[in-house]
Structure 1
Amino acid sequence: MDKQLLRKIMKEKRLALTSQTFSLYNQQILSKVLTHPRVQEAKIIGCYVSLPREVDTLAIIQTLLLHKRVCVPKVEGSQMNFYEIHSLDELHSGCFHVLEPVTSHFIEPGDIDCMLVPLLAYDQNNYRVGYGKGYYDRYFQRNFHGYKMGLAFSFQYVDHIDYDVYDYPLDEIIHEMS
């Protein structure tokens, strides 16, 4: 299936979730993420800041900040960098209306132990369809050696995603039923 069409379908499916189902799925995913051995072992965790109707990461970030070092992405030109935050108050609207860090504590890609990654669709080999800008795949090329954990709803699964040499599979996908 064409990636643009797949993106459109998945966005519509997310919008179709009732508020109650959306909240329930997010609670289940939050619990799985926070109890995951890779998250518990990690010293520095990279985490996207969710958009409306994505798997909600604000509660994940807020909880992780109690015991972990957390960094979040900021788009700078054609690349994405991660900066450590200590509070959700250090986030302000940035590129594509996504909340971005206003801190200046840059975190090297090789220092991140676990990365929580957004996606619109995923397949059996843990390849993902993102929003089409390639920021995460380019980031993973930059000496990133951490664990790549996608956060999704189970309905975002598809049988196969066409990928190329620039696409990186994730190590694992966490969803409400995993």
Structure 2
Amino acid sequence: MDKQHLRKWYEQKRNELSPGDVDSLSIAIVRQFSLLSLSGIKYLHLFYPMVGKHEFNSLLLVKKIREQYPGISLVLPKSDLKKYTLRHILWLEETPLSMNAWGITEPEQGEEISPGLIDMVIIPLLAFDREGNRLGYGKGFYDRFLSECKPGIIKAGVSFFPPEESIEAEDHDIPLDLCITPDKIWSFGKH
């Protein structure tokens, strides 16, 4: 199946999930995340779940990190919708957030963090395969961002569904190091 059809297929699969399904699958992913070692992680980049997209509820993970790992600083992206690029803002509890034109909740302002300082990034995706290739929303925001990061950054996807056998990768696509699903942490390559 080509990327366009695969994207539609997974958007439909996610849309069929009830709010209760999304909550229970998100809780299971946070449980799996607890099995990861976060030693050496100073800056953790994650995303705010989009309303109506049935995404992983990363706010559950935010709560856990803030309670159990106070030494980890959270970073949230701010999108440039014309250039398809991201800026990275330190996400404090008091950071003002608002929704952009695409329905993405992001910081209004705050301290900008260089991509080179980020140790781990939680990447939104629609699907992934057994080699760590991922299928996003198709605009390339995260490939551009990841190309600016330091070598060794941990690139972690989150998915409600198990992997596809194979997703066609293009030269600019940057694969995951791991993907966290409700029942397993899939590792690719170095991790």
Percent identity, aligned pairs only, is: 27
In structure 1, the residue matched to 2:91 is 85
Assess, with a 3 A threshold, how the Cα gap between structure 1 residues 11 and 25 changes in structure 2: closer, same or farther. same
Structure 2 unmatched ranges of 5 or more: 185-191
Question: Structure 1 or 2: larger helix share?
Answer: 1
* Range 21-30 or range 58-67, more displaced: 58-67
Deviations 1:52-107 (A, max 9, x none): 30111112123323412000111124111110011275221014110011223111
Aligned partners of 2:138, 2:10: CA distance in 1, in Å? 13
- CA offset at residue 137 of structure 1? 0.5
Question: Does structure 1 conserve the Cα–Cα contact (< 8 Å) formed by 2:95 and 2:109?
Answer: no
Question: Does structure 2 conserve the Cα–Cα contact (< 8 Å) formed by 1:65 and 1:87?
Answer: no
- CA offset at residue 6 of structure 1? 0.9
Which one-letter code corresponds to 1:168 in the other structure? Answer: I
Provide the secondary structure at the position in 2 that maps to 1:60: helix
Which one-letter code corresponds to 2:49 in the other structure? Answer: S
How big is the alpha-carbon RMSD for the aligned residues of Structure 1 and Structure 2? 1.7
Q: Where do 4+ consecutive residues of structure 1 move more than 4 Å? A: none
TM-score by length of 2: 0.85
Structure 1 unmatched ranges of 5 or more: none
Instruction: Say yes or no: does 1:28 pair with 2:28.
Output: yes
In structure 2, the residue matched to 1:65 is 66
In structure 2, the residue matched to 1:45 is 44
Assess, with a 3 A threshold, how the Cα gap between structure 1 residues 88 and 8 changes in structure 2: closer, same or farther. farther
- CA offset at residue 43 of structure 1? 0.9
Assess, with a 3 A threshold, how the Cα gap between structure 1 residues 62 and 94 changes in structure 2: closer, same or farther. farther
Assess, with a 3 A threshold, how the Cα gap between structure 1 residues 103 and 27 changes in structure 2: closer, same or farther. same
TM-score by length of 1: 0.91
Deviations 1:27-56 (A, max 9, x none): 11012224421x354111000111230111
* Range 123-132 or range 21-30, more displaced: 21-30
Question: Does structure 1 conserve the Cα–Cα contact (< 8 Å) formed by 2:22 and 2:55?
Answer: no
